Amino acid sequence: MEKNGQGSAPRPSVGVGVLVQNDKGEILFGLRQGSFGSGKWVFPGGHIEFGETIFEAARREVMEETGLSVDKLSLISVGDDLRYIESDGKHYFALGVLARDISGEPKVMEPERCLEWRWFKRDHLPDKILGGSALTLRNYLAGTVYQEGMV
């Protein structure tokens, strides 16, 4: 578990997932491989770095993973991911961000972590969506920002 600056009590890690939506209303998912969540679909995202805002992290992660530039960002989901405390000693504070203004075409920038990026219509979403992305999507579609626990 990650410790605070004093080396005492563990603290959660903070991550951001970005629901990238194009002008057709399609949502971008990547197929994970070779690491946590292999074989499941996820939004681009990752850890927020020290001194970085939520939206700065969202822009950076989308660029690093897909090569896309995004803007018109809004916070759409907040979740406590407690599923991995017992098994992996991890607690994540998961933030979901919506990005609507997109420049470029998605490319696989980290082939060791992602097999492909694909646009999905809202009525034909992939079946196997990884937990944090599933929660963000569920909150977005329900118009709810926070739901306790993870799917």
17 in a domain, yes or no? Answer: yes
149 in a domain, yes or no? Answer: no
- pTM for this one? 0.89
Tokens 């992305």, located at residue: 133
Handedness of CA 11, 79, 50, 60 (dihedral sign): positive
6 in a domain, yes or no? Answer: no
36 in a domain, yes or no? Answer: yes
pLDDT at residue number 109: 98
- 75-109: per-residue pLDDT in tens? 999 988 777 788 778 788 889 999 999 999 999 99
- What residues have CB less than 8 Å from 140, skipping those under 6 apart? 19, 76, 77, 96, 98
pLDDT at residue number 83: 75
8 in a domain, yes or no? Answer: no
Tokens read off for 117: 């990026």
Q: In the chain, how many domains are there?
A: 1
Domain that holds residue 91: 13-142
pLDDT at residue number 116: 98
Q: Are 143 and 76 in contact (CB under 8 A)?
A: no
pLDDT at residue number 35: 72
81 in a domain, yes or no? Answer: yes
104 in a domain, yes or no? Answer: yes
49 in a domain, yes or no? Answer: yes
CATH number of the domain residue 88 falls in:
3.90.79.10
Q: Could you give the CA distance from residue 66 to residue 58 in angstroms, rounded to a whole number?
A: 12
pLDDT at residue number 151: 43
Residues of the chain with pLDDT under 70: 1-8, 148-151
pLDDT at residue number 133: 93
User: Within the chain, how many helices (H) and strands (E) appear?
Assistant: 3, 7
